């Protein structure tokens, strides 16, 4: 018998960032990451307290929202956390059901189910709190044909840099405070009906100095994957601790975006000024012994700094950006899967040593 999916989710609907200046953030994601203009809400559309820009590339929708007044929950969020992810919106068939089921199982309500209408139809939104000040919004859009959501108009600027080949969100990682990983693993299991895919402890993920623990939670159809990290005791301060210190609590650490051609995507991103972490050249001396034969030219990957890992089902190529704001908080992963369903465990050590070199420069190790 098929196991029943407690909370059917069709995919990630959008990710909303609360930022200090949405106009400039939107320009950065257009210019640097190739996101395309989709929708807008602001003073011109009757939104008097906030402005939002929505951008899309492949199936990835990002929204950047800024406050128009100091007495605003958006301004409060930015003051405390800096620019960061507020909403991880999930596309569902029934936003009332999603809200009622999760709240009944212990989720803290964020937004009661609300119907929003315009000439393009009807959307139902509801929401629950997750770790830190982050929330899930459930989006029911089966009776809606507009560009994004009611209240937003099409955003059609002349300036349109081309896409860079980003297709969908592969996974989104949350950093939670000391001792909270299992609390949130239990939340995703018991409240959201997710299953645990894998776990890493500090023996898997540690360098000479720093350590962390991680468990990966996935929803019924496997479209949504949320690794959850917690710092572990090391000789020095881990990147997770550094994040918690600067974000002032738990929050989204990185968004992994998938491409079908990581070499082309990364070449374009670098040309547009996106900065990536680097590993020593020696990484590529030993990588073939670890991962075996791959389709790509190793020299090209080495030149790009693309990392490689293999599991039972295939291999993956991945690369991590530096933080994209001045606080060392949110960053991006670019990933291309060639059969592998894992997350690059074989690269953790090289990667963390790279992050430690950055932390050393910031004086936060």
Residue 216 within binding range of Fe ion, rule CB under 5 A: no
Q: Which stretch binds Fe ion (CB under 5 A): 47-55, 69-77, 325-333, 350-358?
A: 325-333
Q: Which is nearer to Fe ion, 62 or 256 (CB)?
A: 256
Q: Which is nearer to Fe ion, 256 or 324 (CB)?
A: 256
Q: Which is nearer to Fe ion, 38 or 317 (CB)?
A: 317
CB of 261 to Fe ion, least distance (A): 19
What number of other Cβ atoms are within 10 A of residue 47's Cβ? Answer: 16
The two beta strands, 331-338 and 314-320, are antiparallel
Q: Give the whole-angstrom CA distance, residue 247 versus residue 31.
A: 26
Can you give the C-alpha Rg of the chain in angstroms?
Answer: 20
Residue 356 within binding range of Fe ion, rule CB under 5 A: no
CB of 164 to Fe ion, least distance (A): 18
How many angstroms from the chain centroid is the CA of residue 73? 21
Q: Give the whole-angstrom CA distance, residue 181 versus residue 214.
A: 8
Q: Which is nearer to Fe ion, 333 or 356 (CB)?
A: 333
φ/ψ of residue 309, rounded to 5: -145, 160
CB of 335 to Fe ion, least distance (A): 7
**Which residues face 36 on adjacent strands?**
56
Residue 258 within binding range of Fe ion, rule CB under 5 A: no
CB of 307 to Fe ion, least distance (A): 11
φ/ψ of residue 267, rounded to 5: -60, -45
Residue 256 within binding range of Fe ion, rule CB under 5 A: yes
Kindly state the tokens that stand for 100: 């009622």
Contact 143, 122 (CB under 8 A): yes
Q: Give the whole-angstrom CA distance, residue 227 versus residue 308.
A: 19
Q: Which is nearer to Fe ion, 131 or 152 (CB)?
A: 131
Residue 170 within binding range of Fe ion, rule CB under 5 A: no
Residue 309 within binding range of Fe ion, rule CB under 5 A: no
Q: How many residues bind Fe ion (CB under 5 A)?
A: 2
Residue 38 within binding range of Fe ion, rule CB under 5 A: no
Which candidate, 192, 113, 59, places its Cα nearest to that of 184? 192
Residue 212 within binding range of Fe ion, rule CB under 5 A: no
Instruction: Report the 3 state secondary structure along 59-89.
Output: CEEEEEEEECCCCCHHHHHHHHHCCEEEEEE
Which residue's entry shows tokens 């991006």?
Answer: 332
Query: Quick one: which of 333, 334, 346, 348 contacts Fe ion (CB under 5 A)?
Result: 333
Binding pattern for the stretch 116-155 against Fe ion, x by CB under 5 A and - elsewhere: ----------------------------------------
Q: Roughly how many angstroms between the first and final C-alpha of the chain, as a whole number? A: 51
CB of 256 to Fe ion, least distance (A): 4
Q: Which is nearer to Fe ion, 130 or 256 (CB)?
A: 256
Q: Which is nearer to Fe ion, 77 or 337 (CB)?
A: 337
Interface residue list for Fe ion (CB under 5 A): 256, 333
């Amino acid at each position: 018998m098929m196991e029943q999916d407690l909370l059917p989710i069709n995919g990630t609907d959008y990710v909303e960032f609360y930022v200090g200046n949405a106009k400039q953030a939107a320009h950065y994601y257009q210019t640097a990451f190739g996101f395309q203009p989709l929708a807008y809400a602001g003073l011109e559309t009757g939104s008097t307290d906030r402005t939002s820009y929505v951008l899309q590339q492949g199936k990835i929708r990002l929204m950047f929202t800024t406050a128009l007044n100091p007495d605003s929950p958006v301004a409060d969020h930015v003051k405390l956390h800096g620019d960061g992810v507020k909403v991880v919106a999930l596309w569902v068939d029934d936003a009332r059901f999603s809200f009622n089921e999760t709240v009944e199982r212990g989720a803290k309500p964020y937004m009661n189910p609300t119907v929003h209408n315009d000439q393009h139809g009807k959307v139902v939104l509801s929401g629950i709190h997750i770790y830190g000040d982050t929330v899930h919004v459930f989006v029911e859009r089966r009776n809606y044909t507009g560009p994004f959501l009611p209240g937003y108009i099409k955003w059609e600027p002349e300036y349109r840099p081309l896409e860079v080949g980003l297709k969908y969100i592969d996974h989104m990682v949350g950093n939670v405070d000391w001792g909270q990983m299992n609390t949130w693993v239990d939340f995703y299991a018991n409240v959201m009906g997710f299953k645990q895919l894998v776990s890493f402890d500090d023996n898997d993920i540690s360098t000479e100095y720093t350590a962390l623990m991680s468990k990966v939670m996935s929803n019924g159809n496997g479209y949504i994957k949320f690794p959850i990290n917690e710092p572990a005791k090391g000789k020095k301060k881990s990147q997770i601790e550094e994040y918690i210190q600067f974000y002032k609590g738990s929050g989204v650490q990185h968004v992994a975006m998938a491409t079908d051609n990581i070499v082309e995507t990364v070449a374009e991103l670098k040309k547009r000024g996106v900065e990536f972490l680097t590993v020593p050249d020696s990484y590529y001396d030993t990588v073939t012994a670890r991962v075996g034969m791959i389709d790509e030219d190793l020299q090209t990957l080495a030149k790009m700094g693309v990392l490689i890992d293999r599991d039972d089902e295939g291999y993956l190529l991945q690369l991590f950006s530096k933080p994209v704001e001045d606080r060392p908080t949110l960053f991006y992963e670019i990933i291309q899967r060639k059969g592998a369903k894992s997350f690059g465990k074989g690269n953790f050590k090289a990667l963390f040593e790279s992050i430690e070199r950055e932390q050393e420069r910031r004086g936060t190790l």
